Amino acid sequence: MIFSSPSIRAAGRVVRVVALLAAAAPLGACSTFGGWWDSILGKKDETFVDQPADKLYNEGLYLLNNKHESSDAAKRFEEVDRQHPYSDWARKSLLMSAYSYYEARDYDSCIGAASRYITLHPGSPDAAYAQYLIAASNFDQIPDITRDQGRTEKAIASLEEVIRKYPNSEYATTARRKLESARDQLAGKEMLVGRYYMDKRDFTGAINRFKTVVTQYQTTRHVEEALERLTEAYMALGIVSEAQTAAAVLGHNFPDSKWYQDAYQLVKSNGLEPSENQGSWISRAFKKVGLG
């Protein structure tokens, strides 16, 4: 492992660990370090040649501990790999460069460094963290719900990869929480489009969107509204049995939901009662995941 403390439980803990390491592994006389720091400030493209791996590594830690120097820290860690390839320091520095890029919000560079680490060191205890950095980088780029959700789908795929490969790791626990949030985002997108179709009185188009939420994103917070909207859409099309089923399933699974109250009143206003048709796709969808 890179760090002397226990495995990182969240990305935010790394900086505190780094601070301890920097204090435990000083760079030498203050005057020497000061001269190095002055050179950094004066020369943006300084090339470092034949410097000891541990010195370069600790310089990277120092920079990483300064929140505004994460990009410079990443470059310093990369210098370890350039000057001392195939060394243990190079392995450690590759992962640290990935984390430094993550801190700098240079997500593409983070993903590149973390992916390289996994390729070169798949059996390392830190491979799980590298995989998590890839997922976190994609997750942090999830766009607003009104925009294309391609990045959200990519985040879901990479989060699922963390859970699949490292199911018992602490990173899998965090990945599961992020996965639920990402899935909620996709469900929200479907709801947004479904409401648009409802406003346009394209009830068939709306039903297709709400059906996606009910069948694919049933554990998200949007499923209650989706069932109520299905009640509305089916009632508008005169498909009464499906409307009654949507209302009944909503009431059975979410009896205290305000959306159930709306669905119940809609069905009741047409002289009907919520009644579940066991052959309906809605009923089957809920039984499939054990909610019905």
pLDDT tens across 99-127, in order? 999 999 999 999 999 999 999 999 999 99
CA dist 100 and 193 (Å) reads 38
Domain CATH code at residue 198: 1.25.40.10
**Is the dihedral angle over the CA atoms 8, 156, 178, 160 positive or is it negative?**
negative
188 and 289 belong to one structural domain: yes
137 domain residue, yes or no: no
pLDDT exceeds 90 at position 269:
yes
Q: Looking at the chain, how many residues does it have?
A: 292
pLDDT exceeds 90 at position 17:
no
Q: Supply the pLDDT for residue 15.
A: 37
Boundary residue ending a domain (72, 104, 136): 104
189 and 285 belong to one structural domain: yes
188 and 292 belong to one structural domain: yes
Boundary residue ending a domain (84, 104, 124): 104
Q: Supply the pLDDT for residue 4.
A: 35
Taking Cα atoms as reference points, which of 122, 156, 121 lies closest to residue 139?
Answer: 156
Q: Supply the pLDDT for residue 74.
A: 94
pLDDT exceeds 60 at position 2:
no
pLDDT exceeds 90 at position 40:
no
**Residue 290: pLDDT band by 50, 70, 90 thresholds?**
low
Range of the domain at 84: 1-104
Q: Which residue has the higher pLDDT, 47 or 228?
A: 228
Lowest mean pLDDT among 35-39, 107-111, 284-288: 35-39
84 domain residue, yes or no: yes
Quickly tell me which residue has 């590298």 as its tokens: 130
Q: Supply the pLDDT for residue 25.
A: 44
Q: Supply the pLDDT for residue 181.
A: 96
Q: Supply the pLDDT for residue 289.
A: 59
120-171 pLDDT, tens digit each:
999 999 999 999 999 999 999 999 999 999 999 999 999 999 999 999 999 9
96 and 189 belong to one structural domain: no
Total count of domains within the chain? 2
In percent, the amount of the chain with pLDDT more than 90 equals 76
Boundary residue ending a domain (104, 122, 143): 104
5 domain residue, yes or no: yes
CA dist 110 and 112 (Å) reads 5
Q: Supply the pLDDT for residue 22.
A: 41
pLDDT exceeds 80 at position 23:
no
In percent, the amount of the chain with pLDDT more than 70 equals 81
CA dist 254 and 218 (Å) reads 12
147 domain residue, yes or no: no
130 domain residue, yes or no: no
Mean pLDDT across 202-223: 97
Q: Which two tokens stand for residue 71?
A: 């990009």
Q: Which two tokens stand for residue 111?
A: 């993903």
117 domain residue, yes or no: no
Predicted TM-score (pTM) of the model is 0.77
Mean pLDDT across 225-233: 98
172 domain residue, yes or no: no
Q: Supply the pLDDT for residue 36.
A: 46
Mean pLDDT across 192-204: 98
98 and 195 belong to one structural domain: no
Q: Supply the pLDDT for residue 54.
A: 87
Taking Cα atoms as reference points, which of 166, 175, 208 lies closest to residue 190?
Answer: 208
Q: Supply the pLDDT for residue 26.
A: 44
166 domain residue, yes or no: no
